[in-house]
Chain A
Amino acid sequence: MSAMPDSLAPNAVARVNGVAVAMPRSPGVWAQAWTRLKSDRVGMVSLVIVALFFVLVLLAQLGLVARDWQREVGEPFAPPTIVGADAKEQTIEKQVQVPNVDISDIDPLASYYGEWARRAAEIKTEVQVRKETLPVGGDRIGRDVLAKTIKGAQISILVGITAALVATLIGTVLGAFGGYFGGKVGDFLEWLYNVFTSVPYILLIFALAAVFKSGPLAKVFEGGIAPVVIILGAVGWTGIYRLVRAEYIKHRNREYVRAAEAIGAGHLSRMFGHILPNVSHVVLVQLSLHVVSFIKTEVILSFLGLGVPIDMVSWGTMLAEAQTELVLGKWWQLVAATAFMATFVTAFALLTDALRDAMDPKLR
């Protein structure tokens, strides 16, 4: 890993026997990592799957797919197409013959019927033809499970990634300050770390969820994914802080940092301009590890009703519905949410492993 910014490399010139010869540019850290990643077959397949999911999330975010996920397009609990439509229930109605008595001469409303019929005809009603089967089935009120799952993927992945970004940002900044300065600042941050880690993770999430539920912040962030993102970010930074801090302690007295100091780089410039690029592989791997764990936590929180608001759908809220549906024998929502989630999480976890191997060949 070189401390030299990449932009300098092409201009580097060596003098051989008084003749200027351009030095061949050596590939940068990221280019090397990319080359190593490309030779990892499992990593590349996972990368493609993860990229496909990201495209799906982007399309859903732009409203190009799964926009009408709330429309009731099918029969309630419409089965998946491969299963075929439910057998029509035979309803035997007994026809009771009641003689039709004309009571219009004593009916006080008789004069209005014509008027009402005319007015009713004026109102246009659209008759929704409900499909008997849907590609992956329908839910309790006939919404398309496939559209729901895609929308759920969008929300769950978005929550996972933004929360991981928040946690990584907090952890990296605090870790940088703690590791670089040490002393009083370091002690204070260590104390903060001890306080946060002495309370079990899930309990801290519960406490924050309680606060967000009834506190003044509940009104500020009403109806969005912001509360769950903030909760996960505020709770999950500790592990990243520890690792980044250790890296900064290792790097702060290295020669390249001293050299930066000698040419007059300030503290912040040294911390984030010089050291950060050299520890960025640690940060990146941590970021992707946290995406996976936050998606799992979000699913559990949404299942319990502490995650995304009720008018949104996430894999967690789908599983919450699926629990009762399963007893009725309607398994498709459970299978759809589980399959999507398992695919994404497995691919992302394998990609993280591949990334770690590619970024830090020493680990092998």
Chain B
Amino acid sequence: MLSFILRRVLQMIPTLAGVILLVFFLFKYFGGDPAEILGGLQASAAQIESIRKQLGLDKPVAEQLWIFVRQVATLDWGQSWATKESVNHIFSTRLPATLTIMIPIMILEVVLAVVCGMAVAYVRGSLTDRTVMVVSTVALSISFLVYVIIGQYVFAFRLGWFPVQGWTSSTLTNLAVYAPLPVMLAVLVSLAPNTRLYRSFFLDEIGHDYVRTARAKGVPERAILFKHVLRNAMIPILTNVATQLPGVFIGSFLIEVFFSVPGLGREVFLAVGRSDYPVIQAVTVYLAVLTMGINLITDVMYKFVDPRVVLK
């Protein structure tokens, strides 16, 4: 187990190096000139030259790469170009808002989708099953934007059940007042595709021999579903949740943009608009590390969910 974790961590190094190279060269050769972005439209040639010197842009490429690697290693990303706020401060202040929105979404999504997926798998082949499938296919083809636009209009603007948008510094107020509508909309939108996916997971399991055996010895259908099938379907479900987890940290940025939630996703979106490269670079590298970490934890968790899995 320990050697497995150690080897996996070592395997991450080349990937992380690749991400650093990708981010560095992408912005170095395809991005705009940082000195011109920082200098603004009114900057004189001398000012641009001096910014260039400050940032080390006059040095050879290898040395610039080394500076960037050192930034990554020391987690010192400097300041945002647009607001002069330190990048690490941006992270620590924006992350709580994202988590306040995304953790409830994540939990509700998984619980509801497991329940709905199992319910639909239970009545498989029936009219209800087919209706749910058709409805979710159509629901899936409507853009996410439309649901949020209409949801915000109907529930917040027209009916006034929730505030249209907003945020406070108190987590409790946020959870009780500002989070419910975005959370509800995000969960509702993801329900159709997730139900479809989880139904297929359950149906895959129901086709197995052990289910037939359990049925043959007289185990009631409900017990088969909850005891045998659910436990076995946990593996694909876990994989699915794990692949979605890194997305939690950037948040559903659309939700944050629509509801003016001062979270990480909105911050990255704003950074793109302002050509604020340090913020984008930092988020990209952080999330790559996080994704790799989550993948490792998922693999270890398989072991606990399914004793048959051998870590090698």
Q: Which residues of B contact A305 (CB under 8 A)?
A: 273
Complex Cα distance A280/B285, Å? 36
CB within 8 Å of A: which of B231-282?
246-247, 250, 253-254, 257, 268-269, 271-273, 275, 277, 280-281
Whether A338 contacts B269 in the complex (CB less than 8 A), given A199-B284, A210-B280, comes out as no
Nearest neighbor of B141 in chain A, beta-carbon distance: A345
Most chain B beta-carbon neighbours within 10 Å: one of A210, A216, A299, A319 = A210
Most chain A beta-carbon neighbours within 10 Å: one of B138, B153, B257, B272 = B272
Q: Are A203 and B145 in contact (CB under 8 A)?
A: no
Within 8 Å of chain B (Cβ to Cβ): is A211? yes
Q: Are A327 and B284 in contact (CB under 8 A)?
A: no
Within 8 Å of chain A (Cβ to Cβ): is B65? no
Q: Are A207 and B23 in contact (CB under 8 A)?
A: yes
Q: Which residues of B contact A218 (CB under 8 A)?
A: 32
Within 8 Å of chain B (Cβ to Cβ): is A342? yes
Whether A300 contacts B284 in the complex (CB less than 8 A), given A198-B15, A215-B32, comes out as no
> Majority SS of interface residues in chain B?
helix
Within 8 Å of chain B (Cβ to Cβ): is A326? yes
Which of under 10, 10 to 19, 20 to 34, or 35 or more describes the interface residues of A?
35 or more
- Stretch of A30-38, A96-104, A145-153, A188-196 lying at the B interface: A188-196
Whether A215 contacts B30 in the complex (CB less than 8 A), given A296-B143, A304-B269, comes out as yes
Within 8 Å of chain B (Cβ to Cβ): is A322? yes
Which of under 10, 10 to 19, 20 to 34, or 35 or more describes the interface residues of B?
35 or more
Within 8 Å of chain B (Cβ to Cβ): is A349? yes
Give the shortest distance, in Å, between B117 (CB) and chain A (any CB): 19
Q: Are A350 and B18 in contact (CB under 8 A)?
A: no
Q: Are A209 and B272 in contact (CB under 8 A)?
A: yes
Whether A349 contacts B140 in the complex (CB less than 8 A), given A198-B288, A299-B145, comes out as yes
Q: Are B15 and A191 in contact (CB under 8 A)?
A: yes
Give the shortest distance, in Å, between B103 (CB) and chain A (any CB): 17
Q: Are B145 and A303 in contact (CB under 8 A)?
A: yes
Give the shortest distance, in Å, between B95 (CB) and chain A (any CB): 15
Chain B 20-46, CB-CB to A under 8 Å as 1, else 0, gives 001100110011100001000000000
Complex Cα distance A213/B287, Å? 22
Q: Which residues of B contact A108 (CB under 8 A)?
A: none
* Count of CB-CB pairs between chains A and B under 8 Å: 123
Name the contact of A300 in the complex, choosing from B143, B157, B271 (C-beta under 8 A).
B143
Give the shortest distance, in Å, between A290 (CB) and chain B (any CB): 15
Q: Which residues of A contact B15 (CB under 8 A)?
A: 191, 194-195, 198
Complex Cα distance A290/B145, Å? 19
Whether A338 contacts B26 in the complex (CB less than 8 A), given A200-B246, A200-B250, A215-B31, comes out as no
Complex Cα distance A346/B134, Å? 10
Q: Which residues of A contact B284 (CB under 8 A)?
A: 199, 203-204, 207
Q: Which residues of A contact B86 (CB under 8 A)?
A: none
Q: Are B14 and A191 in contact (CB under 8 A)?
A: yes
Give the shortest distance, in Å, between A354 (CB) and chain B (any CB): 12
Chain B 151-191, CB-CB to A under 8 Å as 1, else 0, gives 00100010000000000000000000000000000000000
Within 8 Å of chain A (Cβ to Cβ): is B216? no
Most chain A beta-carbon neighbours within 10 Å: one of B138, B142, B149, B283 = B149
Q: Are A323 and B149 in contact (CB under 8 A)?
A: yes
Q: Are A203 and B287 in contact (CB under 8 A)?
A: yes
Q: Which residues of A contact B31 (CB under 8 A)?
A: 210-211, 214-215
Complex Cα distance A214/B254, Å? 23
Q: Are A195 and B18 in contact (CB under 8 A)?
A: yes
Give the shortest distance, in Å, between B9 (CB) and chain A (any CB): 14
Most chain A beta-carbon neighbours within 10 Å: one of B23, B280, B292 = B280
Nearest neighbor of A324 in chain B, beta-carbon distance: B149
Q: Are A194 and B18 in contact (CB under 8 A)?
A: yes
Give the shortest distance, in Å, between B130 (CB) and chain A (any CB): 12
Complex Cα distance A218/B37, Å? 14
Q: Which residues of B contact A345 (CB under 8 A)?
A: 141-142
Show 20 A/B contacts (Cβ-Cβ < 8 Å), sorted by A.
A192-B18, A194-B15, A194-B18, A195-B19, A198-B288, A203-B283, A203-B284, A203-B287, A207-B281, A208-B26, A299-B145, A300-B145, A315-B143, A316-B145, A319-B146, A327-B153, A334-B150, A341-B142, A346-B138, A349-B140
Besides the known contacts A198-B16, A200-B287, A204-B284, 4 further A-B residue pairs in the complex with CB atoms under 8 A apart: A195-B18, A207-B27, A341-B141, A346-B138
